[in-house]
Amino acid sequence: MATVVLSKKPPKKPQADFAFSIDFQKGEGSASRVFAATHEFIRACEKLDRELVSMIDANIETVMVLEDIEVGSIKTWLRSVLVTADDSALRELDRKKIVGEYLVKAKYAYLQWSENENPERDLPTLSRELQRIATEANIRRLPHYRPPTPAALLDVAKDIQSAKQQLLEGKDKAMFITE
């Protein structure tokens, strides 16, 4: 039998890099739309992370980890965990933190680009921005990073659009939350 423990301490803040939050219209539309949108967004972030880390090192893999879910509106706290067969690529502990920060900044830039209605929005501009973020992060301590592939960036855009299409227009609202 489970034990109930009483505590006055607030719960720990999740060790997350970012959150995807949906303010949804209660009592309207399919109940699954909120979870479907969350699922599509997570898939898009996983694809984007794979492309972003491949710009740095082909031996690094990421895994998207669920850190917490908050109710009310649904807020899903996520973290990218780096996995590599060759630990020498990430030998320094602060390197994982740097890569994690790079991934969050790059996701933010990508989402900002994808929501931009500016006619000058194009893949080469996004590619240069993602390379700039990688260079500023100085992860490999080298000045050049492989550009992301246009096909991968477009594939992620399709997944993000799919996530948005799950939601009720004008009633539901999705947010990407970072520090």
Dihedrals phi, psi of 120, to nearest 5 degrees: -80, 0
Per-residue pLDDT tens over the stretch 85-112 = 455 544 554 667 778 888 889 999 998 8
DSSP 8-state class, residue 173: E
Of 12-21, 90-99, 111-120, minimum mean pLDDT range: 90-99
Residue 129 in tokens:
């921005």
Q: What is the mean pLDDT of residues 4-28?
A: 80
Q: What is the mean pLDDT of the chain?
A: 82
| Residue 58 CA from chain centroid, whole number | 19
Domain boundaries, the chain: 18-177
pTM of the model: 0.79
Q: What is the mean pLDDT of residues 125-153?
A: 82
Q: What is the mean pLDDT of residues 74-84?
A: 80
Q: How far apart are CA 167 and CA 165, in angstroms?
A: 5
Q: What is the mean pLDDT of residues 31-49?
A: 93
Q: How far is CA 60 from CA 10, 55, 63, 72, in A?
A: 36, 10, 10, 36
Q: What is the mean pLDDT of residues 167-176?
A: 92
Which helix (H) or strand (E) segment holds residue 166: the answer is none
